[in-house]
Structures are given as C-alpha cells and as structure tokens.
Structure 1
Amino acid sequence: MDYIILFVNALVDLSNAMAPYILFGLLFAGILHELVPDTIVKNHLGKNSIMSVIKATLFGVPLPVCSCGVIPLATGIKKSGASNGSTLAFLISTPITGVDSILATYGMFGWAFTIYRVLTSMVISIIAGILTNFYAHDEEEQKQELKKQSTAFSLSPNIKASSEKISFSTIQTPKKEDVECTEGGCCSTESCESPKSCIGKRVVSYAFGTLLKDIASPLFVGLLLGALITVAIPENLSEILVHYSWLSYIIVIIIAVPMYVCATASLPIAAGLMLAGVSPGAAFVFLSAGPATNTVTIGVVKKMLGTRTLYIYLGTIIVGSVLFGFGLDYLLRDVSVSELVHIHEEFGIVAWVSSLILWGFVLYYMGTSNNSSYSQREEREMKS
C-alpha cells in the first residue's frame, strides 16, 4: 500500500512538473504552424542534408523549452515537412539548453562549464541528425509506401461501386462565402467574421486537436513509467555513486535516460551530486542525458520517427554524454567547485490546473482511441 501511495504521489508530482511546459509547447507549436509557412520548413529543414540538421540544431538551442514541451514542437515541424534528421536534431538540442538554462548554468557553474554544455549538446544533436538522415530516412519512405499500398488495396473494391453512384447532381458549386472563408484559412464552417479569432481557433485546434491527439498514447505510458522509475530510484543515490565511482557513469545513464527532468531543474541535482563527491563528468552526464531523454520522448520518437531513429537517438545521446563526461573530468582535473546553488520549487495553482487539463485531454483521446479500435474489431468480426 505504501508503494502505491508513493507511485501516485510521484505521478502527481511528475504531471505537475511537465504539464505547464507541455501545454505551452502545444500552444507555441500551434502559433508556429500558423505563422511559419510549411514551405519555409521544407526548404530549410526538409532535405536530408547536413546543413538542414545544423539549422534545426541552431534553431533549437536558444528556445526555452524543456524535454516535454519540445515534443509538440518537433511533431509540428515534422508535419510541416522537416526531415527525420532535422526533427531529431531539434528534439535533442532544444531541451538540453535554452536561454533560461544557459543563464542558470552560468550562474551555478561559470562560463567555461556553460560553453562546454552548449557546444557538446550541439555536437550530439548534429551527429544524431546526420546519422538519421543517412541510415534511417529510408524507413520513413518504406512506411509511406506500405501506407499507400494498404490504402489503395482497401479502396480498390469500392472504386467501381462508388464511381457508379457519382452523378452530376451531386456536384455543387461552392457558395461565395464558403470560398472566401476557405481562402481566408478558417478551419470551420462558420463565416470568418474576424481573422484574428479565426487564427486563434486554428491554433487551438491544431495544438490540442491534431498534435495532442498524436502524442496522447505515448504520453500516457511515459507518465506512468516515469513515475514508476522515480519511485524505484534509491534515496542514497549519491552515496552509491561515490562508493562505486568507476560505475558512476553507467549508473547515471541508467537513471537519466528514462527519467524526466528539465534542463534548468537538472542543475541543482547535478550540483548536489558534485557536492556529495560525484565527479563533474558523471554529473555532466546527468545534465546532458537527463533533459534530452525521458520515457515520454522515447515513445514519441519511436512512433513519429521509427525504431531505427530511436536507436540512433538513444545511442548518440548515451555515447556522446559519456564521452563528453570523461572529457570534462579531464579538463577539470585540477579544478574544484566551491559554491553551488540549490533550487527547490513548490508547485503552484498553474501547475495543478495545467496537470488537470492535460490529463483530461489525454484520457479523452485514450478513450476515443480505444472505442475506435473496439468498433473496428467488431466490424472485422462481423465481416468474418
């Protein structure tokens, strides 16, 4: 019973920590979708080239978006035509850094550590994007080809029957107001009285309809797994890492990869590890791999970009974080950090309301998805 209470508390804390940033990311993605034409995204990020990966990385570095808020943004640019490599580079570089995190890192660890963190995150992102463009872009093409074949196969028996039913009486000339509304970009059957309100409707519809519906299932699973992992982490973690210093990198990676922690919030954790005697390199591994990955993002990457891209995503972050962690230990072998800042945040009303809103949408889409799959299964059984 105690473990159930701990799990529920961890799930509530995780939801409160993630929800405001996810909702902000959804709205930001909706705004970008309206303001940035798809052609710009396709022209700059749509090619399987090194330059498109570099552009996506540079675009993501300064954005103050965490590892959960970046999910809808990455989904949005992917839907707008970005390549798998560009999407993955953006997905990695954005949560590790950010203006807020860069300033906080500078205030806590100094300019050298800050520059090292920013540059290494860019290198990891670019390498992951390039590998994806070279080794995983054909996976998406195969998926699209299979989808086209299955769609053509499912429609072929009904083509003749449907074509016989078409008559000139069914073809209607669109009304003038409908044409004007469509040209204005209004995504509803109502007249576009106010262009601003029309844009607002499209932003909300795209953010909380299209994007959130796509990530609802992996988000649900990720929250549950993240809470479970949080409960399973021992309280004397720092003592274990100090005692087994030669295993500290591996232990930190095992914990950091599935755990949710944003770039700024990871700083006091890393500072606490260093104060407890853990090497700066091991603490850096947590700062790099922690914000870049979590159970939610892992599920979304697999669904959106494919299994091969997921392996590149995890492999690049793990190997890159460990190698750069060793490099930091070498650079700071004669340096000791004397003063570190510890930050503790209490969840306010915004976090609680955001969490309730997010869970409401997730459970709604999970329910509609289950009902849809159930009705499809019933339909197949009736046909058989």
Structure 2
Amino acid sequence: MQKSKKIKLIVSIAVVLPLLGILYYFLQPLVNYLTYDLFGLKVESHLGEAINFFIYDTVKILILLFLISALMGAVNAYFPVDRLRIYLTTKKMYGLQYLFASLFGAITPFCSCSSIPLFIGFVKGGIPLGVTLAFLITSPLVNEVAVAMFLGLFGIKATLIYAISGILLGTIGGFILGKLKLDRYLSDWVKEIQANSEQESEQWEADQTPFIDRLPSIIREGWDIVRKVLVYVLIGIAIGAAMHGYVPENFFTEFLSADKWYAVPLAVIFAVPMYANAAGIVPVIQVFVAKGVPLGTGIAFMMAVVGLSLPEATLLKKVMKWKLIGIFFGTISMFIILLGYLFNWIL
C-alpha cells in the first residue's frame, strides 16, 4: 500500500471510530428526539414505543456489528480455515481439538445452514467427526453477529455467559458425540470422499503481509457481513418492535413464565421447527424478556432456533444418515435445555 493511502486510512479510522463511539453514547436521547419531538409521536402510544425501539436497536446493533465483524475479520485473516484443518490433522492435541474447533466456530459468521460446507470440508480433510460436530454446534450459536447484538441488548454479563456456554456446549457436545463412534452413520457420499481424498501434508506458511495492508480488505469484509445480514436485522428488529409495542404483557408469560418447570423444554420444542439466524432472533428474545419470559428460557429458545432447524437437518441429510441427525439433534437439544435452566439460575 502506498504511503499516502496508508496515511488516509489511518486518519479515516481515527475520525470514524470516535464518531461511532459518540453516536453510540448519545443514541437514546437522539432517538427520543427523532421519535417524540421531530415525528411528533406520543411517548405512551404503541406506535411511538415501536418506532423508538426500532430506530434505537437498529442503529445500536449495526454499530456494534460492524466493529465486532471488523475485529473478527482481523482474527480470520491470520487464522484461516486451511491452517486449522492442517494443524488438527498433523498434531496430537490431547482432546483440545474439540475446544479449538468450537472456538473457530465461534469466530466464523455462519448460520447453521451456511456452516455445512465447512463441515463437509473438515470431514473431507480427515478431521475426526466429533471435532467437526464441535464446530457445527458452535458456529451458528456464537459469532460476531450474536455477540454484538447480545452485548447491545442484554449487557456484558449475559453476553459473556452466553458466549462461554455456547463454546463449552460445542466442546463437550463434540467430545461426547466423538466418543460414540458415529462415523458409520455418515452418508455413503462422504465415505467415498474420505476414501478418495489425500491428506494434505504441507505445512501452512504464515502470510507476511503487513497488517496495515490487510486493513482495507478487513474493513470491507466487516461491512460485507453487515450488508448481508442487514435484511435479517431489520426484519428481526421490526418484529421485535411490533411485539414490544403491541403484544400484551401476559402473551408469553402464560406459556414460558418462570413459575412453570416445563417452560425451558417447551421453548426448545417450539424453536426446533423454526429457522432464523442470530440477527433475526435476538431482537425477538429481547421482547420475550421484556414481556416477562426469563432470560435463560429466552436464550434456550434462541439457541434452538439458530442451532437446530429443519433446513439444517435437510442439508445434513447429504452428509449424515437420519439416525446420526437424530442423535445430533437430540443430544444438543438436551444440552440446550440444561443450559436454559442454568441460565435462569445464574441470571
């Protein structure tokens, strides 16, 4: 990169980052002014509450999403998939491969369905099935989209508990599923790929490109992530705003309230047939909580929606037999239910 371009880039970042910070800090008063003063909506009206909720959450989440996506882009730039695949197949990891695969799933911005191609690549590369499942479990549950939205909506404590538990869920779930020796339930297509593929043996050489030269592409990738999930963010927040402004207080508490022991498993059962990514479901969870649903129950519902779905099962049928899909879904559902009870106890 030419020196003049580097200087312009550094200056731009030095200006944009503080402006985003200032906007984030004064966002609520600004949105209140737009909603109630400029637009003339009444504070106590359903429409006023819904519009205020929609504008505030949209801007706040997009700011956090861009910043965290750019940060994760820098991580991914120096830790690509090929490095992970080769490292896991050439080094003795003493069980840490499950944790590493789960961590890699956490820093990749994929929903459950878009994680499938990487899952196939892992299996093709000879990585053990339990390790690939650890990645598949965590990838849709914990990523920069979910973390950014959780941070903005529920605060740092809930975000940390959610992220750490999601990574541990992938690690423990992958370990247990790996010990069950389920490779025999992979599809014939995958077994044929494994038989014909050659193990990659060349060591990955670290890219020596300076960070400042990588930065423009990292920022573009961060913006691309925001652009690709923007529709889901808007739809999710719009649904959340409508629910926030118009849904009666007791609509969700009737079925998922804290005094019902079956609320968590019921939330997971309701969620599995559904499908959404984190951008679409997190704002809805915020409204669940605002209406009286315990946060742990809401998180369990979200995990089941983004991590287990009928579209995912359909795609997995290409690489797994139905028995393995059933074992996978059943095991993860059980863990999510246990986590829901744990979240409600902690939070």
Aligned counterpart, 2:329 = 314
Task: Provide the rounded CA distance (Å) in 2 between the counterparts of 1:72 and 1:142.
Answer: 15
In 2 relative to 1, CA 114–67 (structure 1 residues): closer, same or farther, beyond 3 Å? same
Say whether the 8 Å CA contact 2:120–2:319 is kept in structure 1: yes
Q: How far apart are residue 139 of structure 1 and its match?
A: 1.3
Task: Provide the rounded CA distance (Å) in 2 between the counterparts of 1:142 and 1:264.
Answer: 32
In 2 relative to 1, CA 146–301 (structure 1 residues): closer, same or farther, beyond 3 Å? closer
- The one-letter amino acid paired with 1:121 is G
Task: Provide the rounded CA distance (Å) in 1 between the counterparts of 2:179 and 2:292.
Answer: 41
TM-score normalised according to structure 1 size: 0.49
Say whether the 8 Å CA contact 1:257–1:293 is kept in structure 2: yes
Deviations 1:323-364 (A, max 9, x none): 1211121122xxxxxxxxxxxxxxxxxxxxxxxxxxxxxxxx
1:80 aligns with 2:95: no
Identity over aligned pairs, percent: 25
Q: How far apart are residue 292 of structure 1 and its match?
A: 0.7
Aligned counterpart, 1:126 = 171
Q: Where do residues 330-341 of structure 1 align in structure 2 (5 Å cutoff)?
A: 330-332=345-347
- The one-letter amino acid paired with 2:343 is L
Task: Provide the rounded CA distance (Å) in 1 between the counterparts of 2:329 and 2:252.
Answer: 24
Task: Provide the rounded CA distance (Å) in 2 between the counterparts of 1:68 and 1:310.
Answer: 14
Computing the radius of gyration from Cα coordinates, the structure with the larger value is: 1
Say whether the 8 Å CA contact 1:242–1:276 is kept in structure 2: no
Q: Please identify, of 131-140 and 94-103, the stretch whose mean Cα deviation from structure 2 is larger.
A: 131-140
Deviations 1:266-308 (A, max 9, x none): 2111111111211222111112222111112123334414445
Aligned counterpart, 1:329 = 344
1:241 aligns with 2:255: yes
Aligned counterpart, 2:275 = 260
In 2 relative to 1, CA 274–288 (structure 1 residues): closer, same or farther, beyond 3 Å? same
Task: Provide the rounded CA distance (Å) in 1 between the counterparts of 2:335 and 2:292.
Answer: 23
- The one-letter amino acid paired with 2:162 is R
Aligned counterpart, 1:298 = 313
Give the counterpart of 2:107 among 62, 69, 81. 62
Task: Provide the rounded CA distance (Å) in 1 between the counterparts of 2:154 and 2:309.
Answer: 24
1:284 aligns with 2:299: yes
Q: How far apart are residue 255 of structure 1 and its match?
A: 1.6
Say whether the 8 Å CA contact 1:281–1:326 is kept in structure 2: yes
Q: Please identify, of 96-105 and 245-254, the stretch whose mean Cα deviation from structure 2 is larger.
A: 245-254
In 2 relative to 1, CA 252–42 (structure 1 residues): closer, same or farther, beyond 3 Å? same
In 2 relative to 1, CA 275–309 (structure 1 residues): closer, same or farther, beyond 3 Å? same
1:41 aligns with 2:93: no
TM-score normalised according to structure 2 size: 0.54
Aligned counterpart, 1:202 = none
Q: Where do residues 174-189 of structure 1 align in structure 2 (5 Å cutoff)?
A: none
* Structure 1: stretches of 5+ with no match in the other structure: 1-31, 149-234, 333-384
Q: Where do residues 145-160 of structure 1 align in structure 2 (5 Å cutoff)?
A: none
Q: Please identify, of 123-132 and 301-310, the stretch whose mean Cα deviation from structure 2 is larger.
A: 301-310
In 2 relative to 1, CA 140–249 (structure 1 residues): closer, same or farther, beyond 3 Å? closer
Aligned counterpart, 2:284 = 269
- The one-letter amino acid paired with 1:331 is I
CA RMSD between the two structures? 3.5
Aligned counterpart, 1:179 = none
Q: How far apart are residue 313 of structure 1 and its match?
A: 2.0
Structure 1 ranges of 4+ moved more than 6 A? 46-49, 144-148
Task: Provide the rounded CA distance (Å) in 1 between the counterparts of 2:156 and 2:142.
Answer: 14
- The one-letter amino acid paired with 1:300 is L
Task: Provide the rounded CA distance (Å) in 2 between the counterparts of 1:142 and 1:239.
Answer: 43
Q: How far apart are residue 137 of structure 1 and its match?
A: 3.8
Aligned length: 215
Task: Provide the rounded CA distance (Å) in 2 between the counterparts of 1:66 and 1:141.
Answer: 22
Aligned counterpart, 2:150 = 105
Say whether the 8 Å CA contact 1:95–1:292 is kept in structure 2: yes
- The one-letter amino acid paired with 2:184 is E
What secondary structure is seen at the aligned counterpart in 2 of 1:246?
Answer: coil
Say whether the 8 Å CA contact 2:105–2:135 is kept in structure 1: yes
- The one-letter amino acid paired with 1:99 is E
- The one-letter amino acid paired with 1:41 is R
Deviations 1:166-205 (A, max 9, x none): xxxxxxxxxxxxxxxxxxxxxxxxxxxxxxxxxxxxxxxx
